[in-house]
Amino acid sequence: MVKLTGVDKKKIAVFISGTGSNLLNLIRYSKKKNSFFKINLIISNNRKARGLNYARKYKIKKKIVNYSNINIAEKNILSELKKNQIDLVCLAGFMKILSNNIIQKFKGKIINIHPSLLPKYRGLNTHKRAIDNKEKYSGCTVHYVNFKLDSGKIISQKKVRIFKNDTERKLARKILQQEHILYPKTLNKILSNL
């Protein structure tokens, strides 16, 4: 197996708005011998996002972007991505929708993790909707980001069984555990093919 040094690894920016548990698992995976990536930048629209603590802990550069004006916000984002020579962006609980402008400029280089088996349950409240519809399975999906919300090409998915006594919370927890495995593995696979 190829062991990459820090310099050879692809540079990743992770966008967050909250807890950042996916961010943490991407960071942990990036430190493995066989990882093809390094987390070089964390971007958050929320200065109180708990996940920002990982920037300090792991000495990763962070940037808080003020979204009161989306055009300025995205200009700042693009300039940070350029300045840090970012190769690929991972959205991980980022609660803002990226405009066509930014998606176009980073075409095919922005991925997201979504807590449902897309194309089912795009958008928010996925677990409640899956339970209310008496689905037997839900899960998580890693996909490319395109112009339509949660609609880009699917890269990988993991199914999770919904049991009769599963609450929204319980299901969210089970799915999040799978996200933590699926997201870094998928990212590494994409990069190994580049």
Q: Which residues bind ligand GRF (CB under 6 A)?
A: 16, 18-23, 51, 92-93, 113-115, 176, 179
**Nearest-CB residue for ligand GRF:** 93
Using alpha carbons, select from 108, 111, 116 the residue that is nearest to residue 92.
111
Which is nearer to ligand GRF, 93 or 184 (by Cβ)?
93
Alpha-carbon separation of residue 104 from 6, 66, 129, 146 (angstroms): 28, 21, 31, 9
Cα–Cα distance for residue pair 77/35, rounded to 1 Å: 25
Question: Do 115 and 126 contact (CB within 8 A), yes or no?
Answer: yes
CA distance 120 to 130: 9
Nearer to ligand GRF, 52 or 176 (CB): 176
Q: Which among 114, 127, 143, 180 is annotated as catalytic?
A: 114
Q: Which is nearer to ligand GRF, 4 or 177 (CB)?
A: 177
CB of 112 to ligand GRF, least distance (A): 7
Which ranges of 84-192 does DSSP label H, i.e. alpha helix? Answer: 100-105, 126-132, 168-192
Nearest distance in Å: CB 180, ligand GRF = 8
DSSP 63: E
For residue 2, the minimal CB distance to ligand GRF (Å) is: 28
Residue 51 is classified by DSSP as G
Per the annotation, the verdict on 114 as an active-site residue is yes
Which CB, 126 or 188, lies closer to ligand GRF? 126
**Cα distance between residue 49 and residue 120, in whole Å:** 28
Closest distance of CB 114 from ligand GRF, Å: 5
* Active-site residue set: 114
